[in-house]
Amino acid sequence: MQTIKFRAWDGEFKKWSDLPLKKYPIADIKFLTDYTFCQFTGKYDINGKEIYEGDIVRFRRSDDKFFIGEISYIEEHGAYFVIHSGISDNQLYAFDKYEVLGNIFENPELLDE
């Protein structure tokens, strides 16, 4: 059975937070709008690190070329893909080839490489 996990980016303070993930009543919905929730894909990179939506990964395709892209869930396909250069052609099925370099919140410059 796969564990469903999330992490939350606090847009106001620009850091990861577990505060909105704790179980307690929240009176103000505005509180949650400052957070971006990223779901765990259920997979790990070559170093054993959990892969989440919004992570930036380095990967090698079948033609042995390396690329850098962002992990994104494509709802119409019901699957996670790596988006690189605006193309979502690499579905995450060969996770042993991926290395998490950072994420879109803390390291957006990695996508420019």
Span 79-92, pLDDT tens digits: 888 887 766 666 66
For domain 6-112, the CATH class is: mainly beta
Per-residue pLDDT tens for 64-79? Answer: 778 899 999 988 888 8
With helix as H, strand as E and coil as C, how does the chain read? CCCCCEEEEECCCCEEECHHHCCCCCCCCHHHHCEEEEEEEEEECCCCCEEECCEEEEEECCCCCEEEEEEEEECCCCEEEEEECCEEEEECCCHHHCEEEEECCCCHHHHHC
Per-residue pLDDT tens for 15-50? Answer: 998 766 665 555 555 566 678 999 999 889 999 999
Higher-confidence position of 85 and 96? 85
